[in-house]
Every structure is written in structure tokens, then in C-alpha cells.
A = this chain, B = another copy of it.
Amino acid sequence: MPPANTQRFLIIADGQFGPMTSKTANCCIRYMPERVVGVFDRTHAGKTVQQVLGFGGALPVVGDFERGLALGATAVLIGIAPMGGRLPAEWRGWLRTAIERGLEIWSGLHTFIGDDPELGALARERGVRIFDARKPPLNLPVADGRAAEVDAYVVHTVGSDCNVGKMTVQVELRNALIERGHRTRFVATGQTGIFIEGWGVAVDAVVADFIAGAAEWLVLEAAKDADIILVEGQGSLIHPGYSGVTLGLLHGCCPDALILCHQATRQYIGDYHGREPWVKIPPLAELVDIYERAAAPVRPTKVIGICLNTFDLSEARARDAVTRAAEATGLPATDPVRFDAAPLVDAIVQGALAAK
């Protein structure tokens, strides 16, 4: 396990800071606000984070990178994920400035900053750490079902699409389960979760043959000191670009239970900003069926709850959406960020007891 995270971050989210466009930035602000000094985004410069996201309080958004560093940052965290994960050319200057001033770089991009000839060399020369959270561990196994053999109760989040709350709900559930006295571990499978937890594997960054193997290895590691393991999901089985990661993760972690996540207002797979949407999200009951059927040949599992993201709905409409989701699936449902995580926590605790 790595040392505790004691950095204070300036988060880069230039041009993309917003409720639905800067997932990594937003989750870091939500789950480790005490470690964030500000956000760099020229579009929203001068506002507070609260004004842009609806949470985050008085944290400032700055439009000048050097002014951002001067807020007391000890590290720069790349808080947006461009399509494909590559390093935009313009950022090079900002990162060089940060490294020259001795600030760590935390990155979840596919392009590893540490491997960049210029930035990597500069960091080594200055003795500055670059943390490429997506860099996979060496010697991952090909999965062979060993995750099914752990004593811990494994809960995996799956979703209708990317960016609907699969990581967020696991962090909320981890906190709630620990509060109730359960030895619980959150298994991060994406860069944001790794930033928050300080440990994990970005499964979308491993060589394709080892997707399931990475999930298996994470579960085996987490089982060493936990009775409940919460495995972060990725993508969606109906996502044209990322479905392979989703299925490998589902088969590799051999979950005892699934929690299905969905953004209540979303109708189409939404990552294709430049193109017409074309993959329609089916009704929740059909999604439950798609996931249970996909898992079944390797290891049968059941969806035990629905996690709705209702951030863009009025409270009345949000409560209505939760009620309808529960009715449509016959399962406990909630928005654990907005309302109460208890329905899902109860479902997990009951499931874990029944599995003993």
C-alpha cells in the first residue's frame, strides 16, 4: 500500500470543468476536498467551484495557471479525461512549469507523463515524482476464476453508460459500511478511484488479455483484510467503445452481487460528442437481464439494487425516478449521493449474511 495522500492539488480541468464533463476533477473535489486548493479552467475563471458544480464551496476556479499554483499547491492533478486519454499539446507548458517548481504530477491519462521524453526527463532531473495512475502493474495474470474462491462478499457496480456513478456509489457505500462496522475495501479500477483510494489498477489501461486478470488480482489482494469488497465498474456492456473492458471486469471479479447504476435522464450512450447518438439505453429491467445473462456462463450473479444519478432533476422528480426504478425492477433503489445510501447498504449486508 502507498503512503497516505498528503498532497495539496491544483486540478487541471481547462475548458471542460462542469458537472458532466470533468468526472475525475469532480470526484476528487467531492471525496478529498481538504486536499484541493483550486481548479484551473479558463472558461469558468473567477467563479467558485460551487457555482460550477453545485458543490465544492468557495474553492476558486482560476484562469491563470501560475496563479493557481500560488494557491499553495504541492501537486498538479489532471482532472479531465480527453477522448482516448492522450496528452493535449497545450498542456506540456503547464506541466513543465509545475515540474520546474518541484510540484508532483498526478495523471490518469493513457499517455504516461513519466514516459514523455521531455517531461519525464525533467522530472527525473529535478527529483519530482510523476504518478501515472493508469500505469498497470507488471506481471498481471490471465484470469482463471480464483476470485470466486474468496470468502469475502464481492459487490460490483455495473452501468447503463460511462459516467453515471459506478465509482461514486462504491465510495459512498464503503464509507457507510465502514461506519456500520464492516471490514470493507473499495477496489478502484479507474484513475479517479485510484487517486482517492491511493491503490488500484486502471483496467482500461491494461493489455486486453489481462482485463479479467487485473480484476481477479485486485479481488484477491482486497480479500486479505476485508469481508466486503466493492469493485468499481467501468463502461457498459452496451457501450460501443468500452464494452470489452466492462465484460472482462465482470467475469474477472466473480461478483456475488451487482449494483446497476444509471443516470435517470440519460436516454442514449453519451460519449460521442461529435456524432449523433445511436445506442439507445434500454429499460432498467432489460439492463438487469443483460448483465445477469452476460455473467451467468462464467459465474451466476444477481443485481441486488439500483443506484440512480439524479443530479439534473428537481427533488420531487428525483424521488419519483427512484420510486419508478424500484417498481420497474423489484429492487431497492436510491440516489446515494443525494438521498440515503441505506437501501443499498442494507441489500449488501443482507446478501453478505445470506452468503455465509
CB contact list, A238-287 vs B, under 8 A? 238-249, 251-252, 272, 275, 278-280, 282
How many residues on chain A are close to B (CB under 8 Å)? 45
Bound complex: CA A279 to CA B299 (Å): 8
Q: Contacting A244 at CB < 8 Å: which of B84, B249, B293?
A: B249
Q: Is A20 part of the contact surface with B, judged by Cβ < 8 Å? A: no
**Most chain B C-beta atoms within 10 Å of own C-beta, residue among A83, A245, A278, A282:** A245
Q: Contacting A293 at CB < 8 Å: which of B143, B144, B211, B293?
A: B293
Specify which chain B residues have a CB less than 8 angstroms from the CB of A293 in the assembled complex: 290, 293
Specify which chain B residues have a CB less than 8 angstroms from the CB of A272 in the assembled complex: 144-145
In the complex, identify which listed stretch (A23-31, A54-62, A202-210, A314-322) lies at the interface while the others stay far away: A202-210
Q: Is A39 part of the contact surface with B, judged by Cβ < 8 Å? A: no
Q: Do B245 and A209 touch across chains, with their CB atoms under 8 A apart? A: yes
Specify which chain B residues have a CB less than 8 angstroms from the CB of A246 in the assembled complex: 244, 247
Q: Do A84 and B142 touch across chains, with their CB atoms under 8 A apart? A: yes
Q: Contacting A279 at CB < 8 Å: which of B83, B237, B298?
A: B298
Q: Do B240 and A278 touch across chains, with their CB atoms under 8 A apart? A: no
A219 to chain B, nearest CB (A): 13
Q: Do A143 and B294 touch across chains, with their CB atoms under 8 A apart? A: no
Q: Do A205 and B209 touch across chains, with their CB atoms under 8 A apart? A: yes
CB contact list, A188-210 vs B, under 8 A? 203-209
A121 to chain B, nearest CB (A): 20
Q: Is A213 part of the contact surface with B, judged by Cβ < 8 Å? A: yes
Q: Do A240 and B298 touch across chains, with their CB atoms under 8 A apart? A: yes
CB contact list, A130-158 vs B, under 8 A? 141-145
Specify which chain B residues have a CB less than 8 angstroms from the CB of A145 in the assembled complex: 240, 272, 275, 278
Q: Is A88 part of the contact surface with B, judged by Cβ < 8 Å? A: no
Please give 4 more A-B residue pairs, beta carbons under 8 A apart, in addition to A143-B241, A211-B245, A240-B298. Answer: A142-B241, A144-B241, A205-B208, A206-B207
